[in-house]
Each structure stands twice: as C-alpha cells, then as structure tokens.
Structure 1
Amino acid sequence: MPSYVHRVPGALAPYVRSCVGYDYRLAPEAAHHGLPSTGITVIIAFDEPLDCSWLDGAQRARYDTLLAGLHTRPSLIRTHGHQHGIQLSVTPLGVRALFGAPAGAFAQVLVDGDDDSRIPADLQRRLQDIPWRDRFRLVDEHLLRRIDPAGASIRPELARAWHLLGTRAGAIRVKDVAGEVGLSRRQLLTTFRHEFGVTPTQARRLARFDAAQQLLKTGWQAAEVAARVGYADQPHLNREWRALAGVTPSQMLDDFPVVQDEVP
C-alpha cells in the first residue's frame, strides 16, 4: 500500500503544510475516518470519486476533488476496496492565498473542490494516468499560479493568536491569548471564529489533538502523550479521541498508515 510524501516548493510552504500521494488496496468494506486537524484538507481522487460524509452520514456525496474545512468531528470515507489520490493539508493563510476566502468560509463542511476552479476538473483528469513525479509537479504549478499576494494576509493579532494556540495548546488559556494579542476575550472570539471557522477553544483542542497524533505515530505511549500535550490523564485523552476521531488511539494507528516510499 504505497504512499508518497512530497515536499512542496519553498514558495508554497507558508500555504501547504503537507502533500501526500497514496494508492491503497483494501477490503471492499473498509472505511477510513478523516480526522479533525489544524489544516484544511484538499483531496484529489483518482480512478473513482471519493465517497465521503460525516461519521453520522450527513452530507454524503461523491467527490472528484474534496475540500474539508476545519472541523471538530470525523468524516467517513467508504473505500470500496481502493483509495488512490493526493491529499493536501492547507494552512489558514493558504486558504486565503489560494482560494480567496478565509478558512471560516469552509468550516465544518465538505465541499466540491472544483467550485470556483479551486482544483479544476481538467487538472483532476490530467493527473489520472501519469507518473507520481509529474502529478506532484502539475499540482505545484497549479497552486503556484493561484497564489494571490493581495489576499495572502490575516490580521496580525489573529495570526498571532493562531500561533499561540497551536504551539502552546496544552499550557495557555484563551483569556491569556486575548491579552497577549491586545483584544478582549469577546473580540477575540468573534474575529477568530470569522477568520478560522472555529473558536479559540476549539483551535486549541485541534492543536492538542494534532500534537498527540504525531507523538503516538512515533511510538510514544498514550499515558506519556497525555502528560506531554496537556490532557489531564490518559482517560481524558481517550475521551477526546472518541469525540474527535470516532475511534480509540490504537484504532487510529491501524487506520491507513502513511509509509513513505520513493516517488517513482
């Protein structure tokens, strides 16, 4: 089950934090949980459209390209035995620069990535039957052409708040973030939610979840992870995992492991 981790060009680095190609052969009944994250997910499907919904079945549709904004519940991808495509994790700044809108415009929803030619259908078709290196090159070229320097900015106080909540997720209170960026707590809540589509508390929760995932994937034990990233204890981590991911940490580790192969 190969996957290929592509390093985007430096000019895209502020906007795209990861780019992974994958080609998984699975049991026909296998399903994959799309986990909440501090990145906005873009998936370009090959061979067959992506069969995706929220875990409760809401918004189920088939997507040649999918954009999933910041969210606090898992999605469900029905694999039908084969998943083949490219997945991008886009930063909030990248959503503005590449797609011309704040991340808040896409929060808690699954949308067709071809809307407004964000990932046009002709690009999705061109990517189908070419080598991986060429696929990544075409995606890079498309995104580089889309960068709008005029739109690539977030209010400095909101960018700072996002950074604080992401890097100190287990050790900083929202009230303290508001004070550091010079806003009242109410002002921070209103402007932050408009920009990112989640509240500061939810952003801190997503950042802590991201950090925990990375540590678990590198072999840390759950109790150690809970203490490191700011959960009260391991049961607290497990409760958060079920709420955000719909699975336990151990089940998550068994779900679509990313193993980097050499890009052919």
Structure 2
Amino acid sequence: MAYPGGAHLAGPRRTRDHARMGDYREWAAGATPGVTVWSRPGGTGRYRVLPDGCMDIVWHDGTLLVAGPDTVAHVAHDPEDSHYAGLRFAPGVGPAVLGAPARELRDLRVPLDALWPGARVRELAGRAADEGPAAALEAWAAARFRAMAPADPVPGAVAAALAAGGTVSAVAAGTGLGERQLRRRCEAAFGYGPKTLARVLRLQRALALARAGTPFAEVAAEAGFADQPHLAREVRALAGVPLGELLRPPAAGDAPSQDAANRSTALPSGSRTTA
C-alpha cells in the first residue's frame, strides 16, 4: 500500500493500549475490540508496507479510503505536508464493519465511497473536519459496533489459532468446518485462504522475534519455519527483501523504521519498515 499510518512500531502490532514513536501515535479504540486508532503526519519518505492480515479506513488530507488486506509488501512514498489518521481492523474484523467481503479488497486501496453511499462518506468526512479525523473515526467505530449484530466467532478463532502456529488442518478440525468451507469463510473474512493467512501471520511472528534480537536460526525454529533457508525464502517472497534489510537501522535521510497500517496508494495496513 502507500498510505502511511496505522503502523505497529518496531515490531508486530502493539497489544498495549497506546504506543508512540516520533509523531506516530496509535491506541486501542474504546469499546471496539479488534480496532486500533492511529494518526501521524506525512513526510517520512520511502517505506515498505508488509502484509499482516489487517484492513484500514484511512483519512488522508480530507479524503477517506479503504486499504484491503495485502498478500505481499508494497513500497510507497510518504509525501511531505501530508497528514493521516485511520482505523486499523485486526484480521477478520474489517469486513463486518465495512460491509464488504475482504476478498473484494485484497491488495487494493479504494475510495470509501466505492463501498458506501456518497452521502454517508461526506457525513463522516465532515465530522473529521469538525472533530479531528482520529476522534471522528474512533467515535464512528464505537457507534458502528453498537449497531452491529454479534460478531461471527469463527474468524477470530481462526486468526488466533493460526497466529499461535496452528496448522490449517488442525484449525479446520477445531472449527468443525471442512477445509473447503474454511477456505470460503477465510476468503470472505481475511481476503485470502487460511494457508496464505498462516504465512502472513508466521512472517509477523518471525519479525517480532528478530526485532527482539533472536538469532535468525532460532527465529526460524520458534516461528514455525522448516529451517533458516525456509525463513529466508518466505521473507523474500512476502516482504521483497532479506530479513536483515528489514531490520537494518535507517540511513541518514531514510524514514524511521516502523510498521504501518495498510496501503499502497498512500495508505496503510500491514507491517511497515524503511525500504
């Protein structure tokens, strides 16, 4: 993607209520489980957004967009004097909130009015102008969750099991679904099947371990790769660069290393780092 923002900073997405690094801020949306609010100015330069299974609504200088789930990394450029805010939805949460299957948004960044009636988008944009974009989006999310039917428990259970390293066959058995049924449910909830989601979440586990200083051979074993060469192949396939390059400190003038929220038109959901 290409919109900076909703990034989990220097590692996988934060689980604590509030994280801050530089001018980027993120915090858990009150009363809306699985939703993170983020805001940041632009001007951080070129960066790489890594897949993480998340989706975002992004406000960018008055325009509202949706960033779908990514299958591979996107390299983008953050223009100066731009400002961003957004809602990042944990894997499986976004489709019910947005009213669109994730598979229709896979690897896409689209204007919000492509999904919603224009009047509804203009109302939210007006609230963002009056209240501030992050505050308006957080309030909208709280109201939306109050009005929604109870969440389908299957996507959350699938994402949690795969994030913990469970196999697709074990996850299918645990949900009581056949593998074909599980794939259809996953494509609607996450944008792709359980095998792709498992690869994306395994990449995030590996990044968390590597950023904590774990040797790469141990990262491979602990994150669930067959061996270190398998880890190297998967990082290149999903991130487009070697693991060492993802972890290197930024050079002078580079954007600071951070994970972004998604996007590639200039928006986020995915792990972000200096390209």
Aligned with residue 237 of structure 1, among 227, 231, 234: 231
Task: Classify the secondary structure of the residue corresponding to 2:226.
Answer: coil
Q: Identity across aligned pairs (percent)?
A: 27
CA deviation vs aligned residue, 1:222-241 (integer Å, no higher than 9, x gap): 33322211122333222212
Aligned residue pair count: 230
Distance 1:153 1:124, change over 3 A: same
Aligned with residue 159 of structure 2, among 148, 159, 162: 162
The amino acid of 1:231's aligned partner reads: F
Write the mapping of 1:108-147 to structure 2, written as runs, cut at 5 A. 108-115=107-114, 116=116, 120-121=121-122, 123-124=124-125, 127=128, 134-147=132-145
Alignment partner, residue 204 of structure 1: 198
Alignment partner, residue 32 of structure 1: 47
1:2 aligns with 2:16: no
Per-residue deviation, 1:129: 9.4
For residues 160 and 201 of structure 1, what CA distance do their matches in structure 2 show? 15
**More deviation in 226-235 or 145-154?**
145-154
Distance 1:88 1:25, change over 3 A: same
Per-residue deviation, 1:201: 0.5
Alignment partner, residue 257 of structure 1: 257
For residues 74 and 243 of structure 1, what CA distance do their matches in structure 2 show? 9
For residues 194 and 181 of structure 2, what CA distance do their matches in structure 1 show? 11
Alignment partner, residue 50 of structure 1: none
Decide whether the 8 Å contact of 2:95 with 2:188 is kept in 1. Answer: no
For residues 137 and 205 of structure 2, what CA distance do their matches in structure 1 show? 27
Aligned with residue 224 of structure 1, among 218, 225, 228: 218
For residues 96 and 203 of structure 1, what CA distance do their matches in structure 2 show? 15
Alignment partner, residue 15 of structure 1: 34
Per-residue deviation, 1:93: 4.6
Q: Using CA pairs below 8 Å that are at least 6 residues apart, which structure has the higher relative contact order?
A: 2
Task: Classify the secondary structure of the residue corresponding to 1:138.
Answer: helix
CA deviation vs aligned residue, 1:109-160 (integer Å, no higher than 9, x gap): 2211343169835644664698xxx543222112222226444422x44543
TM, length-normalised to structure 1: 0.72
Per-residue deviation, 1:243: 1.3
The amino acid of 2:163's aligned partner reads: G
The amino acid of 1:36's aligned partner reads: P
Write the mapping of 1:52-71 to structure 2, written as runs, cut at 5 A. 64-71=63-70
Task: Classify the secondary structure of the residue corresponding to 1:147.
Answer: helix
For residues 234 and 82 of structure 1, what CA distance do their matches in structure 2 show? 41
Decide whether the 8 Å contact of 1:2 with 1:24 is kept in 2. Answer: no
**More deviation in 34-43 or 212-221?**
212-221
Distance 1:80 1:149, change over 3 A: closer
Per-residue deviation, 1:204: 0.7
Per-residue deviation, 1:200: 0.9
Structure 1 unmatched ranges of 5 or more: 48-63, 260-264
